[in-house]
Structure 1
Amino acid sequence: MKHILPIVLALFGTAAQADCYADYKAKQDDPLRLQYGVAQINGACEIEAAANELAPRLEGAGWILLNIVSVFDENGLEERRDSAGENFLRF
């Protein structure tokens, strides 16, 4: 019985964890280009954790993260889709 408890806790912990997303602002220099986008976050659903996870993704494509605007669950996705345009879930 005591071997089953960790498995049950792990399953419920995974099921209880909601998807996390962040909206962000980024830039490129020379010439200056600004970007607003929405990205899925795999780690902790906190602004600092989202910044640490998203910055390398953006840098790989030549962008510099300026800031994370907010973190949210799937309920906030649709209201940001039009604003993010081609950068909706791109990174």
Structure 2
Amino acid sequence: MFNAMKHILLSLVASMALTAGATSAQAACYADYKAKRDNPLELHYGVMQVSSCSASEATPEINARLAGQGWKLLKVLSTFDDSGLNEKRKQRAGQYYLRF
């Protein structure tokens, strides 16, 4: 009986650990970036949700989304989680806040 309870308890703990790991792995990631468009020259700063919190991994995704709208990525400034979605970034990005 003790072994059965021990097995159930260990299974429950392992299940909870896997669930917690999956939840944190699915946390939202965002990037702020600078982009341009030519003829006439336009520049913008923006914030978008991305699938990776690594700037190097998010760069191709950002580049592809922007290119689809005629923009060229100049630089990924940073990546961050929900806590980085602040009023300053929202005001600075204006119409490009979570647009793409």
Q: Could you tell me which of 16, 22, 44 is aligned with 2:31?
A: 22
1:8 CA drift (Å): 5.2
Calculate the aligned-residue CA RMSD, in Å. Answer: 1.9
Where structure 2 has 5 or more consecutive residues not aligned to the other structure, the ranges are: 1-6
Q: Higher relative CO (CA 8 A, sep ≥ 6), structure 1 or 2?
A: 1
The percentage of counterpart residues that share the same residue type is: 44
Structure 1 spans left out of the alignment, 5+ residues = none
- Please state if 1:40 is matched with 2:49: yes
Q: Which runs of 4+ in 1 moved over 6 A?
A: none
TM-score (norm 2): 0.78
Which structure carries more helix by proportion? 2
Q: 1:77 aligns to what?
A: 85
Number of aligned positions between the proteins: 89
In 2, Cα distance between equivalents of 1:90 and 1:65: 15
Deviation readout 1:12-38 (Å, 9 max, x if unpaired): 222112211000000000110001000
Alpha-carbon distance between aligned partners in 2 of 1:56 and 1:9, rounded to the nearest angstrom: 35
Q: Which has the larger radius of gyration?
A: 2
CA distance in 1, matches of 2:83, 2:32: 13
Q: TM-score under structure 1 normalisation?
A: 0.85
- State the SS of the aligned residue for 1:75: helix
Cα separation, 1, equivalents of 2:98 and 2:24 = 22
